Amino acid sequence: MIRLYDNDNECEIGPITEAQLDFLQEQLVEDAIDAYTFDLSPGSIDSLEMNGGETELVAMLRKSIGSRASMEVRYELD
């Protein structure tokens, strides 16, 4: 299983599938901080949605970012 975490507060965002991780890596290549971490903004989440991101994934990221201008998201493999 793959889990997303908010690096700012160390809270788990939620589990994602391998296909969702592949999508994030493909779409956020320019926002990658390192191999496991992405910098997300509301605009990048909008872009994920416009490029075919699953509704569930987009909603989870929007809920996690809340009113912040950006957040660092990392993934870990169980």
Q: Where are the chain's structural domains?
A: 2-77
Are the C-beta atoms of residues 48 and 61 closer than 8 Å to each other?
Answer: yes
Q: What is the mean pLDDT of residues 20-29?
A: 95
pTM of the entire predicted model: 0.93
Position 78 pLDDT exceeds 90: no
> CA-based Rg of the chain, rounded to a whole angstrom?
11
pLDDT at 67: 97
How far is the C-alpha of 71 from the C-alpha of 42, rounded, in Å? 9
For residue 9, the Cα-to-chain-centroid distance in whole angstroms is 15
Position 31 pLDDT exceeds 90: no
pLDDT tens-digit map of 53-70: 999 999 999 999 999 999
How far is the C-alpha of 62 from the C-alpha of 46, rounded, in Å? 9
